[in-house]
Amino acid sequence: MKLKLVVLSAVVALVMSCGNDGKKDGTQQTEENKEAAVVDPMQDKGIGPVTSITLGEIDDALVVEGQKLFEVKCTACHKIGKRFVGPDLTGITGRRTSEWIMNMILNPDEMVQKNEAAKKLLAEYLSPMANQSLTEPEARAILEYFRTLKVE
Amino acid sequence: MKTIFKSLIAITITSLFFIGCGNNDSKQNGALSSNAAEKVYVAPGEHDEFYAFISGGFSGQLAVYGLPSGRLFKVIPVFSVDAEKAYGFNEETKPMLNTSHGFVPWDDSHHPDISQTAGELDGRWVFINGNNTPRIAKIDLTTFETTEIIEIPNSAGNHSSSFVTENTEYVVAGTRFSVPYPQRDMPINEYKGNFKGALTFISVDPKDGAMDIKFQLMMPGFNYDLSHPGRGKSHGWFFFTTYNTEEANSLLEVNASQNDKDFIAAINWKKIEEYVNKGGGKKAPTNYAHNVYDEHTHTATSTMKKEVLIVNPMDVPGAIYFLPTPKSPHGCDVDPSGEYIIGSGKLAAELTAHSFTKMLAAIEGKKFDGEAYGIPILKYEDILGGVVKQPGLGPLHTEFDGKGNAYTTFFISSEVVKWKLGTWEVIDRKPTYYSVGHLMIPGGNSRKPFGKYVLAMNKITKDRYLPTGPEVTQSAQLYDITGEKMELLLDFPTIGEPHYAAGIPASIIKERSKKIYKLEDNKHKYVAKSEADSKVVRNGNEVHIYMTMIRSHFSPDNIEGVQVGDKVYFHVTNLEQDYDVPHGIAIIGANTSELLIMPGQTETFIWEPKQVGVWPFYCTDFCSALHQEMQGYVRVSPKGSKVPLTFTLDGDPVGAK
């Protein structure tokens, strides 16, 4: 009887060991749980290609370029001074880090899946932030334009 | 007892281990039936190794499959309208199907061939012929869209097409039916000597692939069945099988099977090209359509061409010879070295391989066996490279694996036969289910075949799949050809009817596959590149709506001031710039199909409202969690109504910031 039990458990172990995908999911789960801790939005750089931005004086030429890009690529969902499909972006640079803003523009799919703040926004607005295939310099120009949108 | 139990347990564990743990080492499995399944199994999320472009036959289209899985990825509309993709329905693609006979919404597509550089597949374009109203189409393999269609004048039953030379200098279109040239009202029974068979050489611009008819060779009135280019040593020549050298015009199944031998026509196109470049040939009046789709305007234009250069074979001596080939040859295939030209006599008991080297020697030595309409017939014995004896019944087509083997299909005996070039011995034969036509090895008609699989395309399916009424699925079968013997791996259904196919390693194409159209490159006449540009413009009874779409709304989505009797153009731009986010649009009562618009693209449909009311339109391609919210209304007032033209989104005029 004892032998039978041993054999049975050996078989079970063998069969189990064939599919070990379950393990990975487990580790991912804990990582996500860690992220769930509340983060100060002005410390949250988001997830994406932009890790560090240093801001200087506002560059007027860059603002003009950013505004043009914004009007073509973003205004279908974002209006300034009004909640539309997406949030009102007035004063955005006072609420989010420069890095977070650019990563949300450049890497929205991953952001709305993994970044807590972005996940909350998706839950609130329901339409996912669209990836408009902008380049990093283009996103930087849009950020410069955002810096001029101060809350009055 | 205990020992028996122990060993039983041991056996159980061992077998469990092998069954349970996936068959990483196929050798250990030996001839287990799961072996074939493994070889065609492409795990979820994994990619196939090869693309197969399989002709859609009487569907008029070209279908894209993965090999070895046999999974269908896309049906590319080519010669037939396709409501799913609005091809031939939207205003942009209607000109693609224009011909000298007007708009023709259907054709019979047969022989895809992938462009080549130095005799190897380069994966830039795939060409395919329309058989019925003679046309050649070009599909761009960055977008997998039909971007050019050229009609072939003076031709009928465009069957010995659309094969490319080894640097894609030309794509060739040969006529199956000979017809009066020029077309005229004449008695049918005066066919003999009066009908002509046009072989058309279409030049392909190496930069952008633009097609242009360079010349038409006006051959004797035989049926030109299939063709393939010379390669390597025979580059510069093209070979066409002929049947009905009897020039019968009725009951061909009897009357065109009289001659013991018909011909393979060997055409030295380089020589004719030289002649033409020096001003040779005669410009003749004609009328044919040349349709080009521009990726930047997202719009096709159709131009009627009025002239074609005709070359009379008699005017270029030494450029054309006939190679006698037994019994109404069908397939005409050239081996990777360019030495052997295989003619498959449909009614012959053996397979004929002509030798290119011997052909040149016979020409040099003037080993002629008379002439036909002034074209020298070479002596059969002097050009024969070899004969495959008793290979099967009803040989049709041959492809090559690049390792010295050839694979020929036999329609009547329903099998694929592997044989050796040079020794002509049969190595293996495997049945097909049933009645195979063409076969395809990726690159199997180039200098560099990828000899891993052969795909057999069958004419009859019968009992192989669940029945679906009198009309059953079309089908193809995949064989592993890496070993000495072939092994049947997979049956898979195809769209109808799979004639020929062209296969290519996915790695050559997939990195270049376009993901989106850039909005900034969109030069469509009615594009709206942002919501600020969306608007509605009235011009008499024409109303042009410049509409945009993005997840998940239209702009504008409320339109008033349209009247019964108006012709309303919906010019719709998809503002998305992300991969795999198309949107669709349709409105109630439109006498046309939906639009399916890729990111960055603009398409147009026309709606002529016949009833007063408020009519909804909506997105037809599930695009986001709020797809069901992606909708709008058009208010239609009686003719002459005073309702002003307005167009809004969220209550504001569109374009408000």
- Interface predicted TM-score of the whole assembly (ipTM), two decimals: 0.72
Q: Which residue of B has its CA nearest to A82?
A: B657
* Residue A131 structural domain: 60-147
d(CA B316, CA B321): 11
Per-residue confidence (pLDDT) for residue B4, from 0 to 100: 52
Residue A31 lies in a domain: no
- Band of residue A25 on the pLDDT scale cut at 50, 70, 90: very low
Report CB contact under 8 Å: B576, A15.
no
- Give the closest of B20, B516, B550 to A76, CB-based: B550
| Each residue's pLDDT tens digit, A57-95 | 999 999 999 999 999 999 999 999 989 999 999 999 999
Which residues on B lie below 8 Å from A11 (Cβ)?
12-13, 16
B12 to chain A: closest CA residue? A11
Which structure tokens are listed for B223?
């049926």
Asked whether the bond before B329 is cis by omega within 30 degrees of 0, the reply is no
Structural domain count of chain A: 1
Residue at A54 is within a domain: no
Domains and CATH numbers, chain B: 83-327 (2.130.10.10), 393-514 (2.130.10.10), 519-653 (2.60.40.420)
Residue B192, amino acid: K
Q: Around Cβ B604, how many Cβ atoms within 10 Å? A: 24
CA distance B194 to B383: 30
CA B487 – CA B270 distance, rounded (Å): 41
Helices B2-20 and A2-18, packing angle to 10 deg? 10
Give CA–CA dist A26/A40, Å, rounded: 27
Distance from CA of A98 to the nearest CA of B (A): 23
Q: Are A115 and A125 in contact (CB under 8 A)?
A: no
Q: Closest to B16 (Cβ–Cβ): which among A11, A73, A85?
A: A11
**Are A126 and B578 an interchain contact pair (Cβ–Cβ within 8 Å)?**
no
Rounded CA Rg of chain A: 23
Which chain B residue's Cα is nearest to A134?
Answer: B577
pLDDT of residue B18: 45
Residue A82 within a domain: yes
Mean pLDDT by 10 residues, chain B (657 residues): 50 46 43 76 97 98 98 98 98 98 98 98 98 98 98 97 98 97 96 96 97 98 97 98 96 91 97 98 98 97 98 97 95 98 91 97 97 97 96 95 97 96 97 96 96 97 94 97 97 96 98 96 97 96 98 96 98 96 97 98 98 98 92 98 96 76
Q: Which amino acid is at A3?
A: L
Best of A1, A17, A73 to disrupt the B interface (most B CBs within 10 Å) is A73
pLDDT of residue A29: 46
Angle at B210 between CA B206 and CA B214, to 5 degrees: 90
How many Å apart are CA B97 and CA B88, to the nearest integer? 7
The distance of A137 to chain B (nearest Cα, Å) reads 16
B516:A133 CB<8 A: yes
**Is B529 touching A (CB cutoff 8 A)?**
yes
Subunit contact A73:B656, Cβ cutoff 8 A: no
Q: How far is CA B507 from CA B121, B372, B444, B511, in A?
A: 12, 47, 17, 7
Q: Is residue A142 part of a domain?
A: yes
Q: Which chain B residues contact residue A132 at CB under 8 A? A: 576-578
| Predicted local distance difference test score (pLDDT) of residue B30 | 44
At CB < 8 Å, which residues of chain A contact B? 3, 7, 10-11, 14-15, 18, 71-73, 75-77, 79-80, 84-85, 126-128, 130-134
Spell out which residues of chain A touch residue B575, defining contact as CB-CB under 8 Å.
Answer: 73, 76
Residue A47 lies in a domain: no
Alpha carbon distance A132, B583 (integer Å): 15
Pick from B234, B247, B200: nearest CA to B333: B234
Residue A25 is assigned to a structural domain of this protein? no
Strand order from edge to edge, sheet including B350-355: B329-334, B340-345, B350-355, B384-389
Strand pairing report for B384-389 and B350-355: antiparallel
Is residue A144 predicted with pLDDT exceeding 80? yes
Q: Is B521 on the interface with A (CB under 8 A)?
A: no
* pLDDT reported for residue A127: 87
* List of chain A residues whose C-beta atoms are within 8 Å of the C-beta of residue B650: 84
Does residue B648 belong to the interface with chain A, where contact is any CB pair within 8 Å? Answer: no
Query: What's residue A16's pLDDT?
Result: 46
Q: What is the pLDDT of residue B656?
A: 55
The chain B residue lying nearest A4, using CA atoms, is B9
Whole-number Å distance between alpha carbons of B337 and B109: 29
CB-CB under 8 Å, A77 with B21: no
Asked if the Cβ–Cβ distance from A75 to B657 is below 8 Å, we say: yes
Contact with chain A for residue B626, Cβ under 8 A: yes
Rounded to an integer, what distance in angstroms lies between the CA atom of residue B222 and that of residue B177? Answer: 7
What CATH number did the domain enclosing A97 receive? 1.10.760.10
Distance (Å) of CA B452 to CA B150, B383, B482: 34, 32, 5
Give the residue on B whose Cα is nearest the Cα of A89: B657
Dihedral angle sign, alpha carbons of residues A122, A127, A131, A134: negative
Percent of chain A at pLDDT > 70 equals: 74
Nearest to A7 among B9, B552, B577 (CB): B9
- Chain B residues with CB under 8 Å of A67 CB are none
CB atoms within 10 A of CB B96: 27
pLDDT higher at A20 or B332 = B332
Option in A15, A130, A132 nearest B16 (CB): A15
* A101 part of a folded domain: yes
Which two structure tokens, joined as six digits, stand for B545?
A: 């709506």
B337 phi/psi in degrees, rounded to 5 = -80, -15
pTM of the predicted model, to two decimals? 0.89
Count CB pairs under 8 A between chains A and B. Answer: 72
CB B55 within 8 A of CB B112: yes
Residue to test with chain A: of B546, B578, B630, most A Cβ within 10 A: B578
Neighbours of B367 (CB within 10 A): 17
Q: Check residue B593 and give its pLDDT.
A: 98
